[in-house]
Amino acid sequence: MRSYHQYCSVAKALDVVGDRWTLLIIRELALRGACRYTDLRDGLPGIATNLLAERLRELEAAGVLMRRDAPPPVATALIELTDRGRALVPIVHDLGMWGLQYMVDGPAPDDSFRCHWLTFPAELFLTDGAPDGPPASLEMRVDDEAMAVRASEGKVAISPGPAEHPDAVLAGAPAPLLGLISGHLDLDAAVAKGLHFEGSRETVERLMPRRAPVA
């Protein structure tokens, strides 16, 4: 990107991360951790390959991310955030919280979706409503991608990939799933909107928020 040529810290930050796609690359690295070029590409539907390569070069030069050789079994290099890049994660998170208000109408017809994009909203909204209960595991699934939510001793942990022995599974379209997570819909309403539900209703109700804090 052309520099703004302003001696202002906000402008200098945007000189580095203000380019198109740049903050979404940070998002992917924040949600996935160290990953391959191809993983990034899959998490950024719509990006041109040359643009991704160019952005990665720029961000590496700016000290925001680094490449590291993968451990022996793998032949490829891994890309991950540096300390400087990790300092951006809370900002990307907050930006995502601000953007939630533009999602309540549901996805546009040609919107793509990846399950791990729900991580930030899930971290914000999900709480362990029964901190004294036994550990519980929930799987959320859209298309072929899954995300695991584990509640244990009052803590909620969200991780990409399928859950090991889920007590409950939620699957279906993104919109009712997000509605449930954010408290806009309860489980019955989400099911009525097409969400598929299996397993322990108790587990779902333990994790999902009771009220809707989004404006």
Partner DNA sequence: CCGCATCCGGGGCGATACTG
Partner DNA sequence: CAGTATCGCCCCGGATGCGG
In the complex, the residues that contact DNA under the rule CB under 7 A are: 1-2, 19-21, 36-39, 46-51, 53-54, 56, 76-77
Helix axes 9-17, 49-61, angle to 10 degrees: 140
Q: What CA–CA distance (Å, rounded) separates 23 from 134?
A: 38
Binding mask 32-51 for a second copy (x = CB under 8 A): -------------xx-----
Count CB atoms within 10 A of the CB of residue 78: 17
Q: Which is nearer to a second copy, 172 or 174 (by Cβ)?
A: 174
Q: Which of 29, 59, 65, 92 binds a second copy (CB under 8 A)?
A: 92
Smallest separation, CB 27 to a second copy (Å): 5
Residue of 52, 66, 100, 130 that binds a second copy (CB under 8 A) = 100
Give the residue from 74, 96, 84, 98 showing the smallest Cα distance to 28: 96
Site for a second copy in 114-133 (CB under 8 A): 114, 117, 120-121
- Does 189 contact a second copy by CB under 8 A? no
b vs e for 91-125, b when ≥16 Cβ sit within 10 Å of the residue's Cβ? ebbeebeeebeebeeeeeeeeebbbbbbbbbbebb
Query: Which single residue is written with the structure tokens 């009771």?
Result: 210
Where does this chain touch a second copy (CB under 8 A) — which range of 53-61, 95-103, 157-165, 196-204? 95-103
Near a second copy by CB under 8 A: residue from 50, 71, 108, 144:
108
Q: What contacts 114, CB < 8 A, 6 or more positions away?
A: 42, 43, 45, 145
Distance CA(129)–CA(95), nearest Å, equals 27
In the bound state with a second copy, the residue whose beta carbon lies nearer, of 121 and 166, is 121
Q: For residue 112, state whether it binds a second copy (rule: CB under 8 A).
A: yes
State the minimum distance, in angstroms, from the CB of residue 66 to DNA.
Answer: 12
Pick the binder of a second copy from 72, 102, 132, 144 (CB under 8 A). Answer: 102
Number of residues assigned to the chain: 215
214/33 Cα distance (integer angstroms): 28
Q: Tell me the closest approach of the beta carbon of residue 199 to a second copy, in angstroms.
A: 25
State the nearest-atom distance from the C-beta of 115 to a second copy, in Å. Answer: 11
d(CA 110, CA 70): 35
Q: Cα–Cα distance between 189 and 187 in angstroms, integer?
A: 5
The contact set with a second copy (CB under 8 A) reads: 1, 3-18, 20, 23-24, 27, 45-46, 84, 87-88, 90-92, 94-103, 107-108, 110-114, 117, 120-121, 174-175
